Structure 1
């Protein structure tokens, strides 16, 4: 598992200092005592209030004047007035390391840190500081999911003048990472109804060079002499000089599009569907979709086919079909960066794909949007494979009402699958409950030539 840095850099700013609540109360008491002494003419009352005011003035005069002192920069850091937050560029054992470095400026005596791991687990730290001696706060964050994630978020408050002065809460600042999903390129490759390429690794239906046997045909001008089948000529020739050649199928490449539905991201724990919890949710639909999409893209590009990518929830996120290792790297980065959009954008049109392409639509199919896209693409002649990425549900903690609601949602989902099957769309289940052997068997069944391939004329 690897990560790619995505950080939100902020410029250092001057902290705003203010008196603490206790010190503010002392100023109020001292002011009232001094005022009462002046009005009443009692010098002893004035003397009681003056020390409190003098201490507040002394503390205010000693406040730090400079906001400089950010620590040395690390991989994709995010800076604040006194600290640098950074995350390691690699993940090990399913976790990510982070570091918060505090480099104190003169006059700052302590800092209060609040570190949010994965945005939901706060950890508070109170650190005593000494100028010229940076302090590191380190930790590890579990990495239960792939894709874009806010690894750690930090806000802080500075303390000076013996605790008499504090700043407003600064931040938040943090580090984002794109965690690459784990995947294995698929070996069994279903093909589109029509192979449009003129060269590649698959046998098309048109005659040409390089493929399996196509047919026997009378010799025509332009045919190569080495293709003459003398046994067939002796058996089939009826006229003197009549020759027969052995024709093979031409090789062609396939065009494949991986379409991911980012409209929602729900996990194994159904109780977290309404309020997402990155730890309690378990594997999510987008976790499975990123892994499946990467495996599909790598499998086809590896043998020379052209692969494109589209996001059903964000129509502008499109990668045109292409091939080669650089194009595969681009595809994998785009697939890994897929994040839930929460709601679909205004466009209701299915993604534009190359004519005659094979389209994989990876979705949970909890709503009608991916179904309508699949039906539209199938109606225009594309071969469509609906990939179900919904993980097996965990219902142990659900109330009776929620169990009934979940059952209704699953019934609607089954109806959508019936519509897809009725339109001739293939269904592939790619969830955490299926073993790799079961998935390979399903892909192999889809890769069998169930429909004749339609070749194209030169």
Structure 2
């Protein structure tokens, strides 16, 4: 059975081309005419066609080419160059005349030679490389492929069936929207980190000088003040504690059309890039960052800190996608119970849906420190409505959106437009002052 299966597989590996059909037709026609009319000199003319075809078929390859697709970079950032290598191997002792390689190119990958096929000759028992050079234009997961190769052999008389590889997963992390904030956190939770706590303790930030009390360390005594007042005083410091920041992404809707890293930005582009920038800022300062997605399936990345968590955050952001029109997280799967009481919740939202406003209000009513970051791009605000009543409809839409913002501010939720570095300083200072007032009251 194995002997019979081998030839059948070889027959399926390569198929005749039109060139083989023409060679057989010419040789057969000349021999037929020579027999019919008695012109045996035509046999001498047909002999080279027949002999050449036979010699080419005798040294025909038996196996299709092998393919392997790889990239030197484990991960990329949108806007970076991508270099993919397609290794084409020839497992046969005889060489291939030509190997045609073609790849299915995803939308956000631009190859230097577009999606046209590549041709390379591969000698017997060797491997040839085909370089696919290009650029990734947008964040996300972009499967390059499948890659297909067809080998042409026996002087163009045979063509192999397509050898194919599965798509190569390319990951493009979002380009970080630089974010910087010099604010104090509303409340700190842990015992490490770069933020100043509201409570005294071991740290480097001076809180003041006070009288000596039980439990104070002798090395904290301020001798200058003690000698002047004739009472022992100690230096009080604020403890350095880490804070928990929750970045909540509103993915109920997408607005605008993305043009990649060099083009127009959609709401989802702004949301994902801003989230990456905010997470990088707070993780660099030693804080703990958690991520939540509202819209479609509820996704939650638990709070952690460090470089590894930053890479995990970028990986998590790759799968952010807008929900369907009627998708709404069930109340049992999303709510204030998913956010710690002392966390700063930064909600990246375009405020296009009343459900988003209700979600923000519920977090505020539960006592969470909430900041609404408006991610609706200016281009999306310029609504183009055709018809006689287009301008009226656009104005009504803007008024309705402003009314939602006003209601959120009445619930104590500040709304600020995302503008990159320093754009949230003022509102975060306000949140910190509110936190101090709550602490004093309690």
TM-score normalised by L of structure 1: 0.64
Q: How is 1:213-224 mapped onto 2 (pairs within 5 angstroms)?
A: 213=207, 222=215
What is the rounded CA distance, in whole Å, between the counterparts of 1:111 and 1:152 in structure 2? 17
1:182 aligns with 2:176: yes
Query: In the alignment, which residue of structure 1 is the partner of 2:367?
Result: 381
Query: In the alignment, which residue of structure 2 is the partner of 1:424?
Result: 412
For structure 1, which segment, 172-181 or 207-216, has the greater mean C-alpha deviation from structure 2 after superposition?
Answer: 207-216
What is the rounded CA distance, in whole Å, between the counterparts of 1:320 and 1:403 in structure 2? 45
What is the rounded CA distance, in whole Å, between the counterparts of 1:341 and 1:92 in structure 2? 19
- Tell me how far 1:451 sits from its aligned partner: 0.9
Contact 1:361/1:386 (<8 A) preserved: yes
Contact 2:118/2:130 (<8 A) preserved: no
Contact 1:201/1:304 (<8 A) preserved: yes
Alignment match of 2:71 (pick from 64, 70, 86): 86
Query: In the alignment, which residue of structure 1 is the partner of 2:334?
Result: 350
**Structure-2 change in CA distance of 1:395 and 1:325 (3 Å):** closer
Q: List per-residue Cα deviations over 1:111-148 (Å, max 9, x = no partner).
A: 33334444376522352524245444334323332343
- Tell me how far 1:44 sits from its aligned partner: 5.7
- Tell me how far 1:167 sits from its aligned partner: 4.6
Contact 1:264/1:340 (<8 A) preserved: no
What is the rounded CA distance, in whole Å, between the counterparts of 2:236 and 2:397 in structure 1? 54
Query: In the alignment, which residue of structure 2 is the partner of 1:146?
Result: 139
Q: How many residues align?
A: 398
Query: In the alignment, which residue of structure 2 is the partner of 1:76?
Result: none
Higher helix proportion:
2
Q: List per-residue Cα deviations over 1:366-417 (Å, max 9, x = no partner).
A: 3445434323322221111122233332799978469878777666654543
For structure 1, which segment, 421-430 or 396-405, has the greater mean C-alpha deviation from structure 2 after superposition?
Answer: 396-405
Alignment match of 1:95 (pick from 68, 81, 97): 81
Q: How is 1:28-427 mapped onto 2 (pairs within 5 angstroms)?
A: 64-67=61-64, 69-70=66-67, 79=68, 84-86=69-71, 88=73, 94-106=80-92, 108-119=96-107, 122-125=114-117, 127=119, 129-132=121-124, 134-150=127-143, 154-167=147-160, 171=164, 173-180=166-173, 181-189=175-183, 191-192=185-186, 194-197=187-190, 201-206=194-199, 208=201, 210=203, 213=207, 222=215, 226=221, 252-262=241-251, 266=255, 270=256, 273=257, 278=260, 282-313=264-295, 317-335=299-317, 337-340=318-321, 342-343=323-324, 347=330, 349-350=333-334, 352-393=338-379, 400=386, 413-427=401-415
Contact 1:144/1:283 (<8 A) preserved: no
What is the rounded CA distance, in whole Å, between the counterparts of 2:400 and 2:263 in structure 1? 22
What is the rounded CA distance, in whole Å, between the counterparts of 1:293 and 1:326 in structure 2? 16
What is the rounded CA distance, in whole Å, between the counterparts of 2:63 and 2:400 in structure 1? 62
Contact 1:148/1:339 (<8 A) preserved: no
**Structure-2 change in CA distance of 1:230 and 1:284 (3 Å):** same
Query: In the alignment, which residue of structure 1 is the partner of 2:43?
Result: none
**Structure-2 change in CA distance of 1:263 and 1:17 (3 Å):** farther
- Tell me how far 1:359 sits from its aligned partner: 1.0
What is the rounded CA distance, in whole Å, between the counterparts of 1:61 and 1:173 in structure 2? 33
Query: In the alignment, which residue of structure 1 is the partner of 2:40?
Result: none
**Structure-2 change in CA distance of 1:374 and 1:161 (3 Å):** farther
- Tell me how far 1:358 sits from its aligned partner: 0.8
Query: In the alignment, which residue of structure 2 is the partner of 1:40?
Result: none
- Tell me how far 1:103 sits from its aligned partner: 2.9
What is the rounded CA distance, in whole Å, between the counterparts of 2:305 and 2:129 in structure 1? 45
- Counterpart of 2:425 in 1: which secondary structure? helix
Alignment match of 1:447 (pick from 418, 429, 433): 429
- Counterpart of 1:142 in 2: which secondary structure? strand
TM-score normalised by L of structure 2: 0.66
- Tell me how far 1:440 sits from its aligned partner: 0.9
- Counterpart of 1:350 in 2: which secondary structure? coil
Contact 1:146/1:179 (<8 A) preserved: yes
What is the rounded CA distance, in whole Å, between the counterparts of 1:246 and 1:207 in structure 2? 11
What is the rounded CA distance, in whole Å, between the counterparts of 1:333 and 1:327 in structure 2? 10
- Tell me how far 1:361 sits from its aligned partner: 1.8
- Tell me how far 1:443 sits from its aligned partner: 1.8
Query: In the alignment, which residue of structure 2 is the partner of 1:8?
Result: none
What is the rounded CA distance, in whole Å, between the counterparts of 1:399 and 1:452 in structure 2? 44
Q: Unpaired runs of 5+ in structure 2?
A: 1-8, 38-46
